[in-house]
Amino acid sequence: MTVPEDILGGRYALGDPIASGGMATVHLGRVSADGGFGRIVAIKRLQDDLVGSPEHESVLREEARLASRIGHPNVVATLDIVREGSEMFLVMEHVVGQSLAQLVFGSNGGKVEAKMAAGVICGVLEGLNAAHLARGGDGKWLSIVHRDVSPENVIVGVDGLPRLLDFGIAQGKGRDQVTRAGQLKGKFGYMPPEVLMGEEATQRGDLYAAAVVFWEMLTGERLFEAGPNGRQVDIIPQVVEGKIDPPSTRADGLVAQLDAVVMKGLSREPHARYESAREFAMAIEDCLAVASSRRIGEWVLQRAAKPLAERATQLEQFERRAEQLQSRREAMAAGARTVAPKASDDPNAPTEAPGGSLTEALRLAGAEKKRRDGLRRALGVWRSLALILVACVVYLLLR
Ligand SMILES: Nc1ncnc2c1ncn2[C@@H]1O[C@H](COP(=O)(O)OP(=O)(O)OP(=O)(O)O)[C@@H](O)[C@H]1O
Ligand SMILES: [Mg+2]
C-alpha cells in the first residue's frame, strides 16, 4: 500500500500555504486518526531554496526544541517535528487570527487604542516571561532569549489571545553556537542598541523589542524607518543615537505615566529597563485599565474581517479535502485488514498477497488432501472386504 505524497510522517495532511516569512512558509495541516478524529494544525517548512541546508534545518530543530519547552497560552504551541523524504516540517497549533504586523501596518491598520494596545502587549509580555523562565527536561533553566520580538512574530487570535511565535533565532542553553557566530540575526528596527553594537543578546533586549512594538501600536507608525529601497543599515544610527519621541507626541489622549513606562522599556542602557517581562506588564497595568481578551478578540474580528473570512473558506475547503483523504486511507487500511492473515503462532508464517489468502489456500488444500486420503482408505477396506467375499463364494461353489 503506498502512502499518499501529501501525508507527512504518516499522520499530517499538508494543505495550502497561509503565510510566509523570511525563512519559512507556513501551511495549513490536519492531523487525523481512525474514527473521524481530525485537528487542524499549522505546518512550517523551509523555503524551497533552503531545503536540505543543514544550517537552516538546525534552525527549525532548535526552534522546536526551545519552543516545545514553553507551555503558555501566549506562546504558539509547538506540537511535533517530522521528516518526510529530504524535508523537515515543524507542526504547531493553528491560530485563527492575524499577525500584529497586519493589524497595525496592513491595509486596514492604524493606531491602536491605548487599552487595546496595552492588552495585546501585556499578553506578549506574559508569553515572553514564560519563555524567559522556561526549563529543560533536566529541570535546568534554559535562559531563552527570543531575539526576534516584532509585530511580524506576534499573532493575535480571534479568541483575544496575543501569541508570540517564531523562536527560529532564539538563543538558549545547548543551542549550537557555531551557526550564530558573527551573524546579526533579527530585524534591525527591533534590535536593542547594545546588540547592534556587537554585544550578546539578553532577555532585557527582548523587553526593549517589546517596548518598540508597544510604541508602534500606540502611534500606528514604525519607530525606526529603513532607508531608500528598504536599506536596513540606515536604521542602525537611529537606534544607537537617534532621538525617540514619547508616544503621546504622535497620539492623542495618552497619559504621561504611560509615556514614562514605554520610554523606560526603550532605555538604551539595558539595566535602566524593566527587570523582567512581568514587571514591565505590571507597570503597564498600573497606568490604565487593560482591554479584556473578549474585547481584543472583537477588535481582531473587526480589523481583519476580510482576511479572516478568506481563511475560513480556505479552512473549510481544506478540511473537506483532508477528510476525504482520511476516509480513503481508512478504506485502504480496512481493505488490507480483510485480507490480512489470521494470527498465527508461527512468526515466520508466509505473508499473504492482497486479493487472495495464502493461509486459507493452504488450509483448503490440507482439508482436501485429508478428504482424499480418507476416501482412499475407505476404498481399500471395501476392496479387501469384496475380495474376502469373492474368495468365500468360490470356496463354497468348489466344495
Ligand atoms: N501557528 C500559526 N498559526 C497561524 N499562522 C501562523 C502560525 N505560525 C506562523 N503563522 C503565520 O506565518 C507567518 C510567518 O511565520 P514565522 O514568523 O514563524 O516564519 P519565519 O519565516 O521564521 O519568519 P521571519 O520572517 O521572522 O524569519 C507569521 O507572521 C504568521 O502570520
Ligand atoms: Mg517570523
Residue 148 has pLDDT above 70, yes or no: yes
For residue 214 the three cell numbers come to 508597544
pTM above 0.85, yes or no: no
Sign of the C-alpha dihedral, residues 244, 246, 249, 250? Answer: positive
Which numbered ligand comes closest to the C-alpha of 98?
1
Residue 21 beta carbon below 6 angstroms from any ligand 1 atom: yes
- The class of domain 97-303 in CATH terms is mainly alpha
CA dihedral in degrees (133, 134, 137, 138; nearest 10)? -20
Residue 236 beta carbon below 6 angstroms from any ligand 1 atom: no
CA-only gyration radius of the chain, Å: 34
Q: What confidence score (pLDDT) does residue 46 get?
A: 93
Q: Which residue's CA is minimally distant from atom 23 of ligand 1? A: 21
Instruction: Note the residue count of the chain.
Output: 399
Q: What confidence score (pLDDT) does residue 99 get?
A: 97
| Residues 6 or more apart in contact with residue 277 via CB below 8 angstroms | 125, 126, 128, 129, 132, 203, 206, 207, 210
Cα first-last separation, the chain: 80
Which numbered ligand comes closest to the C-alpha of 165?
1
- Residue 68 in 3-state DSSP? coil
Domain 6-94+312-322 matches domain 97-303 at the CATH topology level: no
How far is C-alpha 198 from the chain's CA centre?
32
Q: What confidence score (pLDDT) does residue 7 get?
A: 85
Q: What confidence score (pLDDT) does residue 355 get?
A: 33
Residue ranges of domains in the chain: 6-94+312-322, 97-303
50 or 352, which is more confident? 50
Average pLDDT over residues 81-95: 94
Is 206 labeled as catalytic in the residue annotation?
no
Q: How many CA atoms lie within 13 A of 38 on its CB side?
A: 20
Query: What fold characterizes domain 6-94+312-322?
Result: Phosphorylase Kinase; domain 1 (3.30.200)
Percent of the chain predicted with pLDDT > 90: 64
pLDDT, tens digit, for every residue of 218-259? 999 999 999 998 899 999 999 999 999 999 999 999 999 999
| Residues 6 or more apart in contact with residue 304 via CB below 8 angstroms | 97, 98, 102, 103, 106, 108
| Residues 6 or more apart in contact with residue 52 via CB below 8 angstroms | 86, 87
